Amino acid sequence: MVDHAGVRAVLRDESATQAGFKADLIRRYADMRFAPILFLEGDAHRRQRAATARFFAPRTVTTRYRALIEAEADELIAGFQAKGDATLDRMSLRLAVAVAADIVGLTNSDRDGMARRLDRFFDADLALKDNRLAQFASFFQGQFRLWSFYFRDVRPAIRSRMKAPREDVISHLIAEGYSDRSILTECFTYGAAGMVTTREFITMAAWHLLEDPHLADRFRETDEVGRLAILEEILRLEPVVGTLYRQREGEPAPVALDIRAANGDPQAMGACPHRIDPDRDRAPRVGAAGMAFGDGAHRCPGAGVALLEAAIFLDRLLRVPGIRLIDAPSVGWNPLITGYELRGCNIRCYK
């Protein structure tokens, strides 16, 4: 399905259930009473969304997380300027991990080590093996990486919060009676949603801005509202997750929803839908980012956090004297998140 109205209708259909991100395996093997919020439906999903909404509320984003994002961005930019060069996708991953870790509660281990562990786990090569022996080896490699994430990052956070709960997702899950295994699965889900996809979004947005001097000038000269509008327009054109899947009642196979195509539907987006235009005349009730964050009950709750991260970090980055793109990133595809991967985006500045 590719048209905006049709895709949005399916995403807002409460009888259509989550079918992507290995949902079949989760439903087959997990205790659905404690399943990750991504895979809950109906009343159970509404209860969990309501219970965790405080972590993503606009006021929380602009008060609690702004200071963290600014501090991390300043540290990353200072390191870049001191060295004179950097790999942008590594910088954006570090920022995304710092913020998501604070929201989730993964703060009792080495953050850079956790970033490397998550990066290796979501490596596209792990999901692209095409023969049985390689798939068998990949399965055990994936299990090793998953349990490494548990023992080094998740378990220390759980133990800390059992003694002294905090205002974060892990503390909430402990209070709800989730087991360590269920908390691991939820943390893994947040790892994909809050860390990996945000890294790709920031890198993609930076790539556009560094290759378009006029857009970069506008980004620097406008206020934060204007910067967010530019970022939403880039994300509309370049959604990180390109395809969502839903299982509709009475249909034998899941329906594939082409988010990229829907976000380029001229009926919703107006003239020249494949051109970046933050001032575009969209149809009524069509979001600035289209459906890049999903829609309906499962719309990404962390959309505001991701946009603020990108706005703050890229504003600082584009003000670095002499900044320029040295190597455009290579573009890969990760079937686990049905999204693109950008690697090797190298930048340089005056030392």
E strand segments, the chain: 17-18, 85-87, 243-247, 255-258, 324-327, 330-334, 339-343, 346-348
Higher pLDDT: 26 or 272? It is 272
* Cα pseudo-dihedral 40, 42, 47, 52, rounded to 10: 50
Residue 1 has pLDDT above 80, yes or no: no
Q: Which residues pair with 346 in a beta bridge?
A: 87, 327
What are the domain boundaries of the chain? 4-348
Q: What is the rounded average pLDDT for all residues in the chain?
A: 89
Residue 234 has pLDDT above 80, yes or no: yes
Q: Which two tokens stand for residue 174?
A: 């402990």
Residue 136 has pLDDT above 70, yes or no: no
CA atoms within 13 A on the CB side of 42: 4
Q: Which residues pair with 347 in a beta bridge?
A: 86, 325
**pLDDT range class, residue 130, cuts 50, 70, 90:** low
pLDDT digits (tens, 9 = 90+) for 50-108: 988 899 888 888 888 999 999 999 999 999 999 999 999 999 999 999 999 999 999 99
Average pLDDT over residues 206-213: 97
CA atoms within 13 A on the CB side of 141: 16
The answer to whether 325 touches 207, Cβ cutoff 8 Å, is yes
Give dist(CA 307, CA 304) in Å, integer: 5
Class of domain 4-348: mainly alpha
